[in-house]
Amino acid sequence: MEPDAFTNSMDLKVREFLKEVRLDHSPAFTKLVDDTVSAIKDAIDKIPEDLKVTGNEAPGFVRDIGADKVEFKFKKPKSIKIGGSYAIQCIAKPDECFLEKDYLNYRYHAKRCLYLCIIKNYLKFSSLVRKVEWSTLQNEARKPVLLIYPAGEFAEVPAFFVRIIPTAKSLFTIKKLNLRRNNVRALNDGGSIPQATPKYNTSILEDMFLEDSAELIKKTFLGWKGLGEASILLKVWARQRSSIYVHDCLNGFLISVILAYLANRGRINNSMKAMEIFRVALSFIGIFRLWDYGLYFQQEGQNDITKEERMPYRETFPVVICNPSLPFNLAFRVSRSGFMELQDEAALALKCIEQCKDGGFEEIFMTKVDFAAKYDYCIRLNLKGTNEVHTSGFCLDDECWRLYEQKVHGVLNQGLSNRAKLIRVTWRNTLSEGSIENGLSIFDREPMFVGVSVSSLEKAFRVVDIGPNPENKEEALKFRRFWGDKAELRRFKDGTIAESTVWESEQWTKHLILKRIAEYVLLRHLSLSKENIVHIVDQLDFSLLHGVGDPISFSGSLLRALEVLSKRLRLIEDIPLKVSSVQPIDPAFRFTSVFPPEPHPLANDKDNVPRLHKLMPSCTQPLEVMIQLEGSGNWPMDDFAVEKTKTAFLLKIGESLQNTWGMKCTATEDDVDVFMSGYVFRLKILHERGLSLVRKEVGSDQVKRVTSVDKKLFFRSQHSSMINGLQGCYPIYVPVVRLAKRWVASHLFSTSLVEEAVELLVAYLFLKPLPFNAPCSRIAGFLRFLRLLSEYDWTFSALVVDINNDLGPNDEKEISDNFMLSRKAYEENKQNVSAAMFLGTAYDKASEAWTRFSPNVSELKRLVAYARSSANLLTKLILQDQIDFYKWECLFRTPLNNYDAIILLHMDKLPYPQRLLFPSELNLGKLVARGNGSKFFNPFMLPGDLKGSSDEVKNKLLVNFDPLRCFVGDLEKEFSDTFKVWYDSLGGDAIGITWEKFSSKKRSREELGEEAGEEGKDPVDVLKAVGEVETLYATSITQDSPLSPTSLETKISPPPARSTVPSPPNATLQHRPHQMKNSHIAYLVGAKPISLNPSLMRPSSTVLTFIGFPEENPYFIQPLIHPQKMRKTKILVITPSPNPDFKHQELRDQQQRVTSRQWPMRPEKFLKGDEAHLW
């Protein structure tokens, strides 16, 4: 899109947005405001003149601020004026209520509070006032204000209230309140020079010149529509960012002051649009270095502030904004860390305008940038009742809460040093209705929040911090005083001797180094206990652990094994075409697998039999590796022949590895498994010519199958390369994507969202992080992933993931065209949308690879709802004082009552039961059937399994055995039109079922039964039929309670794995490879899956399938099997006709001519012929 188009789109959105957020001064609303103001005036008029006011009106407040001599006689206000953004009611207190020296020792603040107490007492009786509440002015507890809620409510402004802020114009002599004066005698410790109280003095000056400050803003904004609109935009931008719209940073008043300064200095003018002014303001805040010197207004007829007058401001405050007519710093509350945060956010907003679609409108104005998602590491300090906070009193020059914020910031800043880019410490003081009178201790109830933005992971995960040289005694002493026992003198490899601290950690626990440092320095330098410090760092790590450790720690040995295998593959000489490249495509190689396989003793290439020292799994996962061969023009042109040729190459490669290096290799129909260094590598060949077969107009099912396999393999190789590069640039990507995959599986979305799609979604967070920086912690990244799922406009927007910046304008247009084409049918049928979640990449511009068919529209809606709920819960857990670990676990506990039926699995029969997070429980439901688990399978090796020769023991290892996946496949195949299956592929013990026909809305049991009966299917009968699909799986069924239409509880068990088992009718050999793994079964090559009579497949049989090749394929297949191991085993050798139209009936006819005999000779002699024979 051209820049002008961006500008026009942005302007249009801003105009419509302003209509939504601008206050409509309608007659009804104006009347509401006038009535409220009148009610305030009437209530004040009822207060008796000269009413004696004492400290008893707010005894706790007066006591806690340390004020004395606070009695006065009430006088009516001199004036009542409306100011601010039409939400502030300013009351000017009469001078008669104050004495000449009330600026001392908080007397002014005490009388200010007591004055409001009297007004509050009389306002409560007004019929036009619904309620009166206490609040504070910019979170300053010593300056309370009243919030007046009118009795009548205005629908368009439901939260409207009037804020009463007392002012004290010309009350005290200004020179008595200059920055270097001390007006709180408690700070005078008897020294010759009293300590200055600049914050205290400025707090009083603010009230004295509040009306003048408002007048300054009013003069600038009057009659300037664009400036007012820019002010609204800046306020919306700031309010969406909770880290800057706080007491020590930005507020609506300061936004108006900054805009007034820009107008005063001629940086903006009347001809500029609101968005132009908005951009100038952001640029001024985020980039200009003028802030280092302070901002000073120029006023006609008044002298500028001199250099000598500026000096005290610059020495006292980190940010200075002054006007000659206002003798105080308008930004006196802004802290250094708050201003750094403000500049960072302004710079990010400018990036959004320059880099994001539509000028960054969504990112700037619509995206919530809160503490939970912004900061990489969060800490909550529960300081309720901590005496250290107010040891010297609640209020001295500054309030104790602000002083403690500075103390915590200083300790963490020194402890974390350059590991942290920004450290934000805020303590929001809130109070409940009527509690201000009881004192200031109520402000300790909320926890202090600390947010840390990491500078870089390299620095954050640094194990050693190097301090000063011991020869620098003064610095070395400071270092040791700060670090205590952690400080040690070390000699480094370059010969340097220095003070240092060491934070030894395992590779997979390095993300906890910051937590350990922060906890150590906080405990050492503050009077806190461990229970009062809550680090939001590792609460979700439990979901990634396998036993007591993270399986990602085995990645080093996995990569070393792959390197050795790659070298050996390239050294193979006895094949016509040498191996040119080896590319791992399994998620484990790019570190994104939630549970990468651990080295298995039975998968070693050594011949020794391991001892059973610990629980040894019976199963292991194969790791897919794609290889490519040298180019040649002699490949067959037929696609089917290409596939068979690739298979022949794989068999020859496996034979060569076995003969040359003694490596164990087994073959399946499409690939070869290589056992090495505790891992099983599954080899696959990609031949790029296979991709060109997509253009051939061949209607054969075999051609379609071949084409899809080649294309998917190509997609996977491209995807793997891109993700490998991404995780190298962003190391934290790996744990974030693993958490995301765990969440997707835990909520039973394994059939809806494939792993590669999750990886692309998380990649988008790192490639397009605005309005954030790229996440540097797993919890922040995980929260953003959940928000992306729940907030992205999947219906009308394609999500484009450009990892290597490969997409040009033409590519983006192609993706856009493909997306619009996929949405053409949306208006006609909203439930039938191709690629409901459209993910565009450089290698897949039509979203064909990962999300073409799933999630569909209904699945995506469910996924979005779950993501929204989880995001809200995670945000709450981060921000609120919650230390209950169970609530963190709830992020991965899926509610089973959201399904129409539930199948419960036997936990001890899952292939990897240690991966189960929480055993599923069902308290409701009607039992339909129940069964016992299989006695033939155990997920762990038993002592008896390790008896026998090395080969015999190794053959008992089950490769890629997952009964749950097979059972789900059976259910989907048999009942695809009846119900939808939901399951957890990473270790869940429950399968959810939702009725496809009735999923659009809940029905009563009677309605469901009637409508199902019309289709000829009773729901209960359907549920019972689930157990009949595969008697080896389904053993019990339970029907749900009437709370939902129907539901199912079925306990299932995996099939026997020690021998070949009977298959149900219409099953195919290819569909049950796990049933034959330990019976010396070799799936070498296959054409089309062949249906067999189950009576031929007895438990004592072993099936060996050999398929002949067409005559044009010259390559010979040497079966990888040892005849001596099968001397007493009956072998079923099937060599079907090469005719692709070979029918099941022909096979059944041929089965009548079978005979039986012992194994007498080499199996390759039976490769000839086109009939099926049983030998």
Mean pLDDT of the region 1069-1085: 31
Calculate what percentage of the chain has a pLDDT beyond 70.
Answer: 76
**pLDDT range class, residue 319, cuts 50, 70, 90:** very high
Name residue 878's amino acid.
I
* Vertex 866 angle, CA 896 and 750, to 5°: 70
pLDDT band for position 1076 (cuts 50, 70, 90): very low
As a whole number of angstroms, the distance between CA 842 and CA 726 comes to: 14
1027 and 1101 housed in the same domain: no
- Closest to 711 in 3D by CA, of 694, 699, 736: 694
What is the C-alpha separation between 719 and 715, in angstroms, rounded? 6
CA 234/CA 281 separation, integer angstroms: 9
Residue ranges making up the domain that contains 250:
209-369
User: Do residues 237 and 343 share a domain?
Assistant: yes
Residue at 528 is within a domain: yes
User: Considering 157, 190, 223, which residue would you say is the last residue of a domain?
Assistant: 190
Give the model's pLDDT for residue 767. Answer: 95
Top-confidence residue, 150 or 1005: 150
From 742-746, 788-792, 1171-1175, the region with the lowest mean pLDDT: 1171-1175
Mean pLDDT confidence for 426-443: 72
Per-residue pLDDT averaged across 127-147, rounded? 87
**Spatial separation of the C-alpha atoms in residues 883 and 893, rounded to whole Å:** 17
Q: What is the pLDDT of residues 909-939, one digit of tens each?
A: 888 888 898 888 777 666 666 666 667 778 8
Indicate whether 1175 belongs to any domain.
Answer: no
Whether 987 and 1073 map to the same domain: the answer is no
| Residue 1157 counted as domain residue | yes
Residue pair 890/873 in contact (Cβ under 8 Å)? The answer is yes
For residue 377, give the CATH number of its domain: 3.30.70.3020
Distance of CA 795 to the CA centre of its chain: 21
Q: Kindly state whether residues 702 and 793 are assigned to the same domain.
A: no
- The whole-number average pLDDT for the span 940-959 is 80
pLDDT at position 841 is: 94
From residue 857, how far is each of 826, 830, 835 by CA, in Å?
A: 10, 8, 9
Token pair 């009118």 is found at: 150
The CATH number for 847's domain is 1.10.1410
Does 549 fall in a domain?
Answer: no
Assigned domain for 554 exists: no
3-class DSSP string for 145-159: EEEEEECCCECCECC
The structure tokens listed for 440 are 């200031």
Distance CA 439, CA 62 (A): 7
Mapped to the 3 state alphabet, what secondary structure does 162-206 carry?
EEEEEECCCCCCHHHHCCCCCCCHHHCCCCCCCCCCHHHHHHHHH
Do 139 and 45 share a domain, yes or no? Answer: yes
Q: In the chain, how many domains are there? A: 7
Statement to judge: residues 1029 and 975 lie in one domain: yes
User: Is there a single domain that holds both residue 991 and residue 1028?
Assistant: yes
Q: Looking at 276-290, 1016-1030, 1149-1163, which range is the least confident one?
A: 1149-1163
Q: Output the six-digit token pair for 1124.
A: 């001596």
Domain membership of residue 482 (yes or no) is no
Higher-confidence residue of 297 and 1028: namely 297
Domain end among 369, 402, 431? 369
User: How many CA within 13 A on the CB side of residue 84?
Assistant: 16
First vs last Cα of the chain: how many Å apart?
69
- My answer on whether 379 and 365 are in the same domain is no
Return the number of other C-beta atoms located less than 10 Å from residue 701's C-beta: 10
CB contact at 8 A, 331 and 249:
no
CB distance 334 to 343 below 8 Å: no
Q: Which residue in 289, 291, 287, 272 sits closest to 233, CA to CA?
A: 272
The answer as to whether 679 is a domain residue is: yes
Residue 128: the pLDDT is 82
With respect to residue 1045, please indicate whether it lies within any of the assigned structural domains. no
- Taking alpha carbons only, the member of 101, 207, 205, 99 closest to residue 144 is 207
Least confident segment among 536-550, 621-635, 887-901, 1120-1134: 1120-1134
Q: Provide the H-helix boundaries in 845-976.
A: 857-879, 885-889, 950-954, 963-975
Q: Are residues 38 and 167 in the same domain?
A: yes
User: Looking at the structure, do residues 251 and 305 belong to the same domain, yes or no?
Assistant: yes
Provide the CATH number for the domain around residue 625: 3.30.460
Length of the chain: 1175
Domain end among 340, 369, 398:
369
Report the predicted TM-score, pTM, of the whole model to 2 decimal places.
0.83
pLDDT at 216 over 70: yes
Mark whether 795 and 881 lie in a shared domain: yes
Give the model's pLDDT for residue 267: 93
Tokens standing for residue 711: 């294309």
Same domain as 750, residue 648:
no
Local structure of 1140: helix, strand or coil:
coil
Per-residue pLDDT of 455-479, as tens digits, reads 999 999 999 999 999 889 999 999 9
- Strand 52-53 with 72-73, pairing: antiparallel
Give the whole-angstrom CA distance, residue 655 versus residue 572.
10
Candidate from 499-508, 697-706, 886-895, 1096-1105 with smallest mean pLDDT: 1096-1105
pLDDT in tens, 283-304: 999 988 889 889 998 877 667 7
Average pLDDT score over the chain: 78
Instruction: State residue 823 phi and psi, 5-degree precision.
Output: -100, 5
